Every structure is written in structure tokens, then in C-alpha cells.
Structure 1
Amino acid sequence: MDGATRLSWRVEGMDCAACVAKVTMAVERLPGVSDVEVNLMAERMSLTLAPPGEAAAVVRQVEALGYATRPEPATGAAGKTAAGASCPDHDPAGHAHDRATVHAHGEQDPSDAERPWWRTGKAMLVWALGALVAGAYLLSLALPQDHYWLFLAATLIALVPFGRRAVALARAGSPFSIETLMCTAALGAVVIGAAEEAAIVVLLFAVGELLENVAAGRARAGIRALAALIPRVALRLRTDGGTEQIAPDRLAVGDLVLVRPGDRVPCDGIILDGRSALDESPVTGESIPVARGPGDAVRAGSINTDGALRLRVTHAASDNTIARIIRMVEDATASRAPTQRFIERFSAWWTPGAMGVALLVILLPPFLLGWDWSTSLYRGLAVLLIACPCALVISVPAAMASGLSAGARRGLLIKGGAALEAIGAARAVAFDKTGTLTEGRPRVTDVIAAPGREADEVIGLAAAVEQGSAHPLAKAILAEASARGLTLAPVRDAAAIPGRAVAATLHDRQVEVGSPRHAAERGVALGGLAEALERLEGEGKTVSVALIDGALLGLIALRDEPRADAAAGIAALHAQGVAAVMLTGDNARTGAAIAGALGMGVKAELLPDDKLREIAALRAQGAVVMVGDGINDAPALAAATVGVAMGGGTDVALETADAAVLKDRVSGVSELVGLSRATMANVKQNVAVAVGLKAVFLGTTLVGTTGLWPAILADTGATVLVTLNALRLLRWKPAA
């Protein structure tokens, strides 16, 4: 779109999915506005603005709804940095500005995030309305004859902020808002002489909004706690060997950093010097410190327990593990699960339908049941208040946000409510073998040369072909060549045959390293080495066949041990009623040996296309989760209902799949299933409470047992209960 600019604002005061819907609908109606994205947990609104749209108009529209805005930097189509229009010292009551002011900054004010809930704008409104109602009550004791007028004045004053918002929402395309329901009921109560109840209704509505604000704040606090894992100071090494203290966000890729014993690691990096045990539990949830040494990667936020380390920074602060986790969780909370989308569609019809039912309660009973008009009007207004869908709307996203935050604290990253909901419904989990069920650090155990060849020749030529490959088996062959002190010859025309072999030209001779299946397809007879091949595979080893100019060069056997917790992790899945199967390109005997030891099924000798067919077959029987290393299994991860990467926090692991297990433990998969099921159980409880309380109060209202303020309490009380229930998930722990 010509002249279009991507703008971003921080929007303060959003508490639930209904707030997101209000802001989105209001802004989408403005000229020049498209691609509106509103993130509840990040409190961020992004949109594309093209002429004749104005940033100032966007700000006025949002602030008219009662939300505060603050611009954030955004990149325009031409690559320039632009900011939304708003002044940070805007009127807290929500007054719009007359002109746009472009700011050069866009950082969130930390004081807002750290402000206690009782000092927020919504809390101030509750205290003011509470004082107003209490003052009216005290004055009514002294002036009983003016009882009605005192509460009428209190009600009308209390309705001002909500009435303004209801009008703004109606003008923005949301005439059947929650505010409209409440204002209509309160004004109706005033008309029939129930001014005291009307004032209490407005106060309880404000209390309900405050509780939603507290719930959203608690969920956001869980995300902010991740950011607190980064230390305030990093020790950057100078060229003269000294150190200087700088903020971690000033570290650049390639900088050298000193991490002393007891310090938190300030960046993602690679260890150059030193050895230590790192406590990675703040990031991955792994409780046992992990030994790290030169060449090993470390994550920001880990705690160095003993030895001093010298690191080279590999990621800037904006792209380190903690930053990516925070972005993932924030984006995940903006992704709606199927259950949440259903509730939102339902609530969109609920409110106008409820107004219609309330109107019927007012009009029909005087003719059918003999009620007087005052009684039918009073009970119709109560039905209108019972219909407020606040608790129902917040029931699903509150539980989802808490579940996603609880998982992130334990190294279980899930990219949205849809994936979180689907994981627990899985009937089968398919695992890749190398790097997933196994440690991913195979070593060469046997080298058997063909007649007339030497073992060093086999390893040297194979390693030369494998140069530059990141595959675990290639690394093992290269490590063996290094251990033997072999010098690798340069190669040319290196190429990979997916799922079969790698090949290259070396000294004008074609050298290939691949699977026994590849050798068989090339028509190479193993001769006397066939028996050795069978024996090695029977021992659970992976065997690569080296060929030179289409003739047998030798066999290289490698062994990759299963992860220490693999058997326990598979057993935990079985206990949850979930089947587990290994999908591997390795030979059938090796696959069967490892799968048998772990107590799971196996499909071996699979090419990438074969894995896709196996995933499709499993999906035909129900939801299926695919677990891989996030690098070689991208097609299978994408084909499964939910793809889970066990990549130790690598870029690919965090970006490829629908979820990631940072702790590199197979048991993390069963923990994902447990978290999903706990979250969905919480969702069902919340919906039952929200709907159940309304049903009870609807019955008591129609028979005259309860009145107006208990009616609004049905929604406020349900909001309290579903909020508290959702917050329980923040304390979720995996089953022992």
C-alpha cells in the first residue's frame, strides 16, 4: 500500500478479550487503517496506516473508550522509524488530544508496570465511587427525607465515566457493550425509584473491572518476571584485559564477557575459557546444574555456580533466549484457542439476545402472570444485569494466559492457546530418534575397513566428505578423525542426498557416506562385511557405509545413547493414556533395539516423505504430537496436530514448532500434556461457574427472591471466582 506506515502503541487498561475486541473494532472503522493487531498481555496495538488516515484519530478513538495510549517506535514502509500520536501526560479520564505529537522514544515506563494494583486508574475509580456511595448513605441517615435524591445524585455522577464509554463504544460500532447493559439497568432502576440499588450496581461493576485488571496484571507479572532474570550489569572485557561494567542491552554480538561465580549470565553466548556448573532452572526449569565448558552454549538468565567463565556474545539483548521467550509468550496469549473463539462468538450474540429477553420479561408477565408493571420492569432490569458476559468472556483467556505463563516458567514454551488446547487431546506422540530420544551426541564405536583398506583411510575420507555438516553423526565422524590426528583433504561438489547419504569429489574420486539402504540401492555388495553390519545393528548401533567410486570402502558404527529420562518420559505418557512411537530413518534393528529399551513402538528406515505418511496415518486416528529437534524434522513438525521442538533453546527450536521443551528432557513432553489438560480443566470449571451462577440468579430473580445488586453481583462474583481459579494455574507443577 503506497505511503503506508506500520505504527504501534502501548494501550494501558485492557483487562480481557472483550477489551481487545472493543479496541480492534473501534480502530478498524477509521479511514486508512488496516491489519490491526491488539495484544492483551503485551498491552500493544499495531496497525498499518495509509493516507488519508491520521495517527491522531487513532489515539482519539482509543482514548475515548477509556484506555490510555503511549507511542512505540514502528518501522514504516520506507524503513523509517515512526511513532504513533499521543502525549504521555494525557488526561487519565480519557480526553482526546487535538493534535498528534511524534515522540522519539517508545519505551514502557517501568513505574507503570511496578505500580501496585490499588494505585491504578481503575482502583482510583473504585475508591472514588465507594466514597460517593458511602457519603450518600451517611447523608441519608441525617436527611432521610432526601434519601432518593442523594442516591440519584450519586448514581448519575458514578455513571458519567461508564456512560461516556458506552456512547463512545456505540459510535465505534459496539452498541451492545457491557457498559450499555449496565448503564441501561442503572438508569431504569432510577426511573422506578430504586436509586440506592442503582448506585450499588455501578459500584459493583467498577469493582468487577478492577478485579479483571488485577488478574491481567498478575498474568503480565509472570512475563515480567522473565525479564528480571537478566542482571542489571555485565562485565565486558576490554582489549587491555580489564573489564568495564555496562548494561546487558549494550552488549553487541562478538563482545567478550566475564561471568564470575555466583553471577547471572547476562547474554546468550559461547564459552571461550573456563568450566563451571550452570543452574539453568530459571530459564528451562531443569533443577540440576549442568556442566559447561569451552565451546558450549550458555543462555541468558542462567546462574554461574562455581568457576569463572569468559564468553563470546552470540545474540544481541533483543534476540537472546529470554527476549525470545517473552515475545513468544506475549504472542501466544494473543493467539486464541478454538474454545475461546467459540465463547467470543457466543458472547457477541449473547448481549443483544439478553436485551431482548429482558424486554420480554418486562412486557409479557403483566399480561400472562398478572405482575404489576413496576415488578416486571424491576425484574427485567435485573435480568439485564445478569446477562453481563464479563465472567464468561474472561473465563477462557484468563486460564489460557495463566497456563502459558506457568509453562514458560518451567521451560515449556507454547505458541498460543490453540496449541495448548490440542496437546492435551493428543492420542499419540511421535518422536524423532537422534537428538530427541537420544542425547544427540553419538560417538564412533567401530570402524571396519573393506579388504585392502585401512581404518584411518575410511575415517579420513568419510570425515572429509562430512566437513561443514551440522548433523550429529557427521560431527561424531569428524571428532573421531580429529582424535586420530588425521588431516582432512579438501573436497569439491559436496552434495546431500536427503535421507540417504552425503557425497563429494576428493582427488577426482567420488566418495559417499550413507545408510546401508543407500549402498544397497547403488548395487554395492557388502560381502564379508554383511555379517558385521548385522551384528553392529543388533547392538543398537547406527552404521554408515562409506563408498569410493561405487565400491565398498568400509563401515563406521556409531552409538547415540538414549537420554537418561527417556524411558521414564515414555512411561509417563503411557500413564496419561497417550501412545508413543519412534519415527526414525535409522535401520530397523537399531530402531527396534532402542525402542524396545524405552518401551515404545517404532517405524524405522523412514525417508522424510515416509515420516509425513506416518504422521498422516496417526492423524487419521486422532490428534498427534510430533517431537523433533526443530532442524531436520520441520516437515513432520508442521504436518502434526502440534509440533514440539526439543532444541535446547536454539533459534530453530523456538521458531519452527508450535511448542518447545527448553530443558532437553523427554519428560517435558508428558509435562506439556499435563499442563494442557490442567488448563482445559480450568477452562471448563470457569465456564461452569460463569454460566452456573447466572442460571441460579436468573431463577431467583424471576421468582423475586433477589434484586438488582445481587444480579450484578452474579457477574462480579463469577468474575472473582474465575479469576482466582485461573490464577491457580500460575502455581501449576508437573506431577511427580
Structure 2
Amino acid sequence: MDKEEINNKNHSLKNKTSNHGGTEHKHNEEHDHSHGNIPVYFYFIGLITFLIALFLGEDLLILSNMLFSITVVSAGYHVIIEGFGDTIKDSLRTKKFMPNIHFLMVLAAAAAMIIGSFEEAGLLILIFAGAHFLEDYAEGKSKREITNLLKLNPTEARRISTDNSVEVVSVDQLVVGDKVQVLNGGQVPTDGKIISGTTSIDESSINGESIPKEKTVGDDVFGSTINGTGSFVMEVSKDSSDTVFAKILKLVDQSQKNLSKTATTIKRLEPKYVTLVLMIFPFILVLGPTVFGWSWNVTLYRSIVFLISSSPCALAASAVPATLSAISNLAKRGVLFKGGSFLSNLGELKAISFDKTGTLTKGKPVVTNQYFIDGVDEEEVIDVIVSMEKESNHPLATAIVSNFPHTETKTLSVENEVGRGLVSTFNDNEYRISKPSEFNSYDKNIKEKVNEYSKDGKTVVLIAINKEVIGLIALMDVPNSNAKDAIEYFNDQGVHTTLITGDAKLTGESIGNELKIGQVIANVLPEDKAKIVKQQQDSYGLTAMVGDGVNDAPALVNADVGIAMGDGTDVAIDVADVVLMKNDISNLVYAHKVSRRLNKIVWQNIIFSMFIVLLLISLNFLGKMTIGIGVLAHEGSTVLVIFNGLRLLIPQKEM
């Protein structure tokens, strides 16, 4: 499946409404309630007039009531605008009555003023507006912490022209193939590859890693990262809109718009709830004098208290601030979510499937064992084979050279027999490095070692001198340092773990046994990974897939939560719902803990907010409630709910 096909499939499947529980968020249906500075100034004017009116008391009742009225209009400026403005706009758009909480509060304040309760009306608007600003702050804090990334976005680059002159150009003018100079202390303008020079680069803006990475010719560099003391020339490899950093910003934007299922449900039910309250209001006005025997003044007063008590302010603030706080917390750890729905779903997982290479393993082979028969000059043999392997670019050769860094380099002429191995001559002896099938017979001990290591899923190469096998080296793509703890965590949480790999059964089972993973499915073709994910969903329920390659993309799309490793391919990152920028699987455990905590806090908020509403309504009908107490209790519960959600900004305890 090529990239274009995957992207097309992604467009059709990424809504995933049924799987993720999220809903589509159309841009023109979103309301920006960022109030800016002007309403804040008006709010403090209202606060001042309220305090002056309290000081004046009943001695100057008319003046006090005028000041309380100014408080309602001034502090409630944005409440009135959003209450009536958004209600009218949404009602016209949907062609049905769509009132919001602000509309309800404005009506309650107006009704209180009609019956002469100016102080209570001022208090209602003052506290409601204050709680609303706090909610905005809670949401804004999360957004600001994430979108501070925008400040790191490079704007200029030093492009080298064909005559080797340097011109400073806008980053968006760079094209693939351009050569760019990066000076010491400068910002890497876009993604590319170093073609001359060496340096160290701070890549914390990409992967959160605080220790700079050494870079030299041939190494990849990423836009927005900061160059160290060296200078270098790079060749641009990606358009500015396709860089890793650009993809991070895209994820940030998506995370602000995609709410969790619970938050979306609350948002959708808000106008219906408010409409129901407004429908009940006239019944209370009628039933008060006729059924309950209340006077008209008592009826009107308790009807107003009912409007205040019934307002779902705390309920509306139950999910969004908490979700954005959790997303912000995770972004600091290099875990980027495309939306709250995926974060919420992560905590409800019943099964999780992992790709092997580069996800649970280091992604490249390392030497795990070596064995030589008695009487062999092991040190000299290793010097020779390392010198031979230095002439090869095979991954196994790279692993062998890396494993023996302190060897004496021999001057050799090496022949690479394609499909058979390497051959060279040293001190009139022929050295051969080949796979076991190239030799008809060899030492019994070596044969036992070959069988033992092969059963463990390792790749074995034999070393022969003058066609006699004198030793071997075993190599394997070994699990990364955090994989075992991560698998153990998910097993303990009752989440079914599965390893999906295209490797042979022995290799897959060897890794699976070492990690104690629940199920191993080996010899899997790329196109079959998505089918296996679907089977997992049918058998267990909500399923996640973790991968890093193009061959993982279809499975990432079909999973309820697709998780890509940050060092993976662009396609995998594009179609995934979550990206682990540090390639650290332990951060997935951290995200799962935060997700479970998020879901717990949201339900705490919902239960608490509805309990307060029911309590206030009950006390109101029993005659134990005033407008002032109702406002303090109701808006106080909203503040508590918001602060409870903000707890998710605090880092979660480690495993």
C-alpha cells in the first residue's frame, strides 16, 4: 500500500466516530470564547462598583441598586453577549432553539433585579463571570503550554547559491535539494541531512531529550532544533510544511479541536438541558401559588433560585479543562495526542498490539553471543573479522563493528560474495564469514551453539580459517530497555498484549517469551496486520496498535487508538492518533496512567456537579435556599470542578 493510498484511506477513516466515540468538529461550529483584555477590565469595574454598593448599604438604596445594576452590565458584559448572541446564532444555524448556560444566567439576573434583589443579581453575575474567566484560564493555560512550540518555528535560513554565496531567505522559500548553512548557536531551519561539518544539536523541541546529540556527515537534522558550537552545511530533504516540527504543530491544533466523548456529549446536551430548565420554570410559577401555597413573591423568588440552581455550569466544566490539562501534561513528556477522544479511549483499552522492530526492539541487530574453539587466537581473529566487516555496509556488519570498538585495523582485500558472505586473506590464511548453510560440517560444540542460538531467534554467522569453522557470532534485534516493564504493566492492568511481526516464528516467540507478552503472531504479511487488529477488536473490544513503519499504517488506521513511534516513518505518524516523540515505550505507560486518571476525574466532576444541582433544587423547594447562597454554592462547585481538572497538569507518578 503506497503513501497516497494510505492517506486516502486515512481521510475516510480518521473520523472513526463509532470506534473512538468522538464526533466530528467542524470549524464553523466552534465558538471562540477567548475574552481578551476588554471584558476583564469591565469585570474589575463591575467588582469595584459592587464593593462600593455594599459599602453604601441601605442608607443610599437607590444609588446602591444603580451600582449593582452597573455590576451586572459591566462584569456580565461577555456573559450577556454570549448568552443572547450565541443563542441567536446557534438557533438560526440549527433552525431550533439552542440556549446556553449564559442565557440562563442572564435571565436569572434580570428576574432577580425585577423583584428588587439587585445585590443578589450583581453577586450572581460577578461570581458566574469570575468562574467563567477561571475556566477560560484553565483551558488557555493548557493551550499556551502546548502552543509555545509555535515560538520555536524557524522563519529564516541561510541558503547557499550555485556561486557559493549565502543569502538569507524565508524558510518557506526552501525547496528539497537546497543547500543551507547553519552557524553555531543557530536554529536548524527545516529537515535535512548534513553534507559537511560536525556539531552537536539540541533536539529537545522535537523529542524532549535534554542532552544534545552529536551529528556529522550523513546524519539527519530537524527543523526548529538548536545547533551547538559547530557549523555545518545541510541539504534540505523536506518541504517546510512536511517537517517533523510541522507535524507536531498539526497535532497540537488537532488536539485543541477534538474533545473526548464525554466532553462532546456534555457540549451537545447543554442546549437541551437549558431548554428543559426554561420549560419547567413557568410550571413552577403556576404551581407555586396553586399547589404549594406560596405567595407570589415567594414563588417568583424560588423560581429564580431554581434557574440558578439548575444551571449546569459545573457539569459543562467537568471535562474540557481536565482533558486539555492532561494533553498538556503529556505533551511535556513528548506524547502528542490528536485529540481528547483518543486520550480518553487509551484508558479503556482491552487489548494492545505491538509491532516488533523499532517498537519493542531497538530496531537494529546487536551482538549477543560469541564462541571460539579452544586453541584459537581470539584477539587476532576478531581484529581480522572486524577489519573485514568494515568493508561491508550490511546491518550485521555494522553490529559486529560496533560491538568490537577496540580492535587493531588490518589492511585487507575483502571479497563480498553476494548471498554467501565475506572472504579475505591474512598471513596466508583464508578467512571466511558466512551463514551456517555455507558449510557442510563443523565442530560438534559449534553445531550445538548454532542450534541453541537459532532456537532463540538469533542470527548466527560462522567464522572459518582455511575452510575450517573456528567460531561464531550470534546477533539479534534485542528488546529496548523499557519494553519489558511496559508489557508487564499492561498485563497487570488486564490488557491483552500481542506481538505482531513479519519475522519467523522462532524469532517472534523468543522476543515474546523474553518480554512475557500475552500472544505472538509471527510470519505476518504487512497487509494482514490490519486484519489481525480487527480480530482483536472483535475478541476483546477497544484495541490499540503500536508501530513505526509504512507496513504498520493500515493497522494504525483501523485500531481504536493508533500509536506511532516518533522515529518512525512519516506515513505512520500521519495516520496515528498518538505519537511517542522520544521513541520511549515507557511513555505509553505514563499516558495510559494519565488517561485513566483523566476518566476518573471527569466522572468525579460529573457526579459532584449533578449532586450539587439536585441538592440546591431540593433545598430551594424546602425553602432553605436564597439567591446568594445558591450562587455561592453553585459557582463554588464550578470552581472546584475546574481546579480538580487542573490537577492533571501535575506530573503522574512513575511506574
- What TM-score bracket applies, with the shorter chain setting the length? 0.7 to 0.9
Q: Could you say which residue in structure 2 is the equivalent of 1:672?
A: 591
Report the alpha carbon displacement of residue 247 of structure 1 after superposing the two structures with TM. Answer: 6.0
1:598 matched to 2:515: yes
Report the alpha carbon displacement of residue 215 of structure 1 after superposing the two structures with TM. Answer: 2.1
Report the alpha carbon displacement of residue 381 of structure 1 after superposing the two structures with TM. Answer: 0.6
1:566 matched to 2:566: no
1:121 matched to 2:44: no
1:369 matched to 2:308: no
Residue deviations 1:469-524 (CA, integer Å, cap 9, x gap): xxxxx9738979x99977999xxxxxxxxxxxxxxxxxxxxxxxxxxxxxxxxxx9
When residues 153 and 126 of structure 1 are mapped into structure 2, their CA distance, relative to the original with a 3 A threshold, is closer
Report the alpha carbon displacement of residue 221 of structure 1 after superposing the two structures with TM. Answer: 0.6
Question: Could you tell me whether the CA contact under 8 Å between 2:556 and 2:572 is conserved in 1?
Answer: no
The alignment partner of 2:254 has SS state of helix
When residues 258 and 36 of structure 1 are mapped into structure 2, their CA distance, relative to the original with a 3 A threshold, is closer
| Cα distance in 2 for residues equivalent to 1:37 and 1:709 | 38
Residue deviations 1:16-41 (CA, integer Å, cap 9, x gap): xxxxxxxx9xxxxxxxxxx654567x
Could you say which structure has the higher helix fraction?
A: 2
1:681 matched to 2:600: yes
Match of 2:529 among 582, 587, 611: 611
1:711 matched to 2:644: no
Report the alpha carbon displacement of residue 594 of structure 1 after superposing the two structures with TM. Answer: 1.8
When residues 387 and 319 of structure 1 are mapped into structure 2, their CA distance, relative to the original with a 3 A threshold, is farther
| Cα distance in 2 for residues equivalent to 1:310 and 1:142 | 79
Match of 1:190 among 98, 108, 113: 113
1:227 matched to 2:150: yes
* Identical residues among aligned pairs (%): 33
When residues 671 and 163 of structure 1 are mapped into structure 2, their CA distance, relative to the original with a 3 A threshold, is closer
Q: What is the letter of the counterpart of residue 491 of structure 2?
A: H
Q: What is the letter of the counterpart of residue 677 of structure 1?
A: R
Q: What is the letter of the counterpart of residue 580 of structure 1?
A: T
When residues 341 and 669 of structure 1 are mapped into structure 2, their CA distance, relative to the original with a 3 A threshold, is same
The alignment partner of 1:312 has SS state of strand
Q: What is the letter of the counterpart of residue 615 of structure 1?
A: V
Q: Could you say which residue in structure 2 is the equivalent of 1:732?
A: 651
Q: What is the letter of the counterpart of residue 523 of structure 2?
A: E
1:214 matched to 2:137: yes
Counterparts of 1:40-55 in structure 2, within 5 Å, are none
Question: Could you tell me whether the CA contact under 8 Å between 2:192 and 2:237 is conserved in 1?
Answer: yes
| Cα distance in 1 for residues equivalent to 2:327 and 2:154 | 24
When residues 143 and 700 of structure 1 are mapped into structure 2, their CA distance, relative to the original with a 3 A threshold, is same
| Cα distance in 2 for residues equivalent to 1:363 and 1:600 | 66
Report the alpha carbon displacement of residue 351 of structure 1 after superposing the two structures with TM. Answer: 0.7
When residues 680 and 705 of structure 1 are mapped into structure 2, their CA distance, relative to the original with a 3 A threshold, is same
Question: Could you tell me whether the CA contact under 8 Å between 1:270 and 1:311 is conserved in 2?
Answer: yes
Report the alpha carbon displacement of residue 123 of structure 1 after superposing the two structures with TM. Answer: 0.7
Report the alpha carbon displacement of residue 129 of structure 1 after superposing the two structures with TM. Answer: 2.0
Report the alpha carbon displacement of residue 434 of structure 1 after superposing the two structures with TM. Answer: 1.6
Question: Could you tell me whether the CA contact under 8 Å between 1:283 and 1:409 is conserved in 2?
Answer: no
State the TM-score, normalizing by the size of structure 1: 0.66
Q: What is the letter of the counterpart of residue 616 of structure 2?
A: F
State the TM-score, normalizing by the size of structure 2: 0.74
Counterparts of 1:510-549 in structure 2, within 5 Å, are 537-541=454-458
Report the alpha carbon displacement of residue 235 of structure 1 after superposing the two structures with TM. Answer: 5.0
Match of 2:334 among 411, 420, 423: 411
Q: Could you say which residue in structure 1 is the equivalent of 2:12?
A: none
Report the alpha carbon displacement of residue 218 of structure 1 after superposing the two structures with TM. Answer: 1.0
Counterparts of 1:403-442 in structure 2, within 5 Å, are 403-442=326-365
Residue deviations 1:628-652 (CA, integer Å, cap 9, x gap): 1141112222332212111416422
Q: Could you say which residue in structure 2 is the equivalent of 1:79?
A: none
Q: What is the letter of the counterpart of residue 697 of structure 1?
A: L
Question: Could you tell me whether the CA contact under 8 Å between 2:552 and 2:572 is conserved in 1?
Answer: no
Q: What is the letter of the counterpart of residue 679 of structure 1?
A: L
When residues 593 and 277 of structure 1 are mapped into structure 2, their CA distance, relative to the original with a 3 A threshold, is farther
Q: Could you say which residue in structure 1 is the equivalent of 2:610?
A: 691
Q: Could you say which residue in structure 1 is the equivalent of 2:426?
A: none
| Cα distance in 2 for residues equivalent to 1:149 and 1:362 | 27
Q: Could you say which residue in structure 2 is the equivalent of 1:587?
A: 504
| Cα distance in 1 for residues equivalent to 2:285 and 2:598 | 40
When residues 157 and 220 of structure 1 are mapped into structure 2, their CA distance, relative to the original with a 3 A threshold, is closer
Question: Could you tell me whether the CA contact under 8 Å between 2:49 and 2:70 is conserved in 1?
Answer: no
| Cα distance in 1 for residues equivalent to 2:555 and 2:248 | 23
The alignment partner of 1:381 has SS state of helix
When residues 153 and 326 of structure 1 are mapped into structure 2, their CA distance, relative to the original with a 3 A threshold, is closer
Gaps of 5+ in 1: 1-23, 25-34, 44-66, 69-116, 447-473, 490-523, 545-555
When residues 533 and 637 of structure 1 are mapped into structure 2, their CA distance, relative to the original with a 3 A threshold, is farther
| Cα distance in 1 for residues equivalent to 2:529 and 2:131 | 51
Q: What is the letter of the counterpart of residue 668 of structure 1?
A: N
Question: Could you tell me whether the CA contact under 8 Å between 1:537 and 1:587 is conserved in 2?
Answer: no
Q: What is the letter of the counterpart of residue 584 of structure 1?
A: T
Question: Could you tell me whether the CA contact under 8 Å between 2:50 and 2:67 is conserved in 1?
Answer: no
Report the alpha carbon displacement of residue 349 of structure 1 after superposing the two structures with TM. Answer: 2.0
Match of 1:256 among 171, 175, 179: 179
Q: What is the letter of the counterpart of residue 228 of structure 1?
A: K
Q: Could you say which residue in structure 2 is the equivalent of 1:349?
A: 272
